[in-house]
Structure 1
Amino acid sequence: MAHIDLGFDEHESPGIVGLMRYRPETGGPLSALAEALLVAPNSLSRGERELIASHVSALNDCAFCRDSHAAFAAAQLEPGMILVEQVRAHPETAPISAKLRALLAIAAAVRADGKAVTEVLVDAARAAGATDVEIHDTVLIAAAFCMFNRYVDGLATFAPTDPAAYAESARRVVELGYVAH
Structure 2
Amino acid sequence: MSRDGDVIAHIDLGLDEKRHPGITGPMIYRPETAKPLNALAEALLRAPHPTLSPGERELIAAYVSGLNECHFCCSSHSAIAAAQLPEGADLVDRVRADPETAPIGAKLRALLRVAAAVQRGGRSVTGELVDDARREGATDLEIHDTVLIAAAFCMYNRYVDGLGTFAPQDGQAYENSARHIVAHGYGAF
Q: TM-score range by the shorter chain?
A: over 0.9
2:145 counterpart residue number:
137
2-structure distance, mates of 1:129, 1:163: 35
1:168 counterpart residue number:
176
Residue 84 of structure 2 aligns to a residue whose secondary structure is coil
Identity %: 68
Q: How do 1:10-159 residues align onto structure 2 when only pairs under 5 Å count?
A: 10-42=17-49, 43-159=51-167
Q: Is there any run of 5+ residues in structure 2 with no aligned partner, and where?
A: 1-7
List per-residue Cα deviations over 1:128-154 (Å, max 9, x = no partner): 111100000000000000000000000
Give the partner amino acid of 1:14: P
TM-score of the two chains, using structure 2 as the length reference: 0.94
2-structure distance, mates of 1:151, 1:86: 26
Q: Which has the larger radius of gyration?
A: 2
Displacement of 1:177: 1.2
Residue 61 of structure 1 aligns to a residue whose secondary structure is coil
List per-residue Cα deviations over 1:100-123 (Å, max 9, x = no partner): 000000000000010010111101
2:3 counterpart residue number:
none
Q: How many residues align?
A: 181
2-structure distance, mates of 1:60, 1:123: 25
Displacement of 1:78: 2.0
1-structure distance, mates of 2:129, 2:28: 38
Q: Is there any run of 5+ residues in structure 1 with no aligned partner, and where?
A: none
Moved over 4 A (4+): none
1-structure distance, mates of 2:137, 2:24: 35
Q: CA RMSD in A?
A: 1.0
Give the partner amino acid of 1:3: H
2:4 counterpart residue number:
none
2-structure distance, mates of 1:161, 1:128: 37
TM-score of the two chains, using structure 1 as the length reference: 0.98
2-structure distance, mates of 1:135, 1:178: 23
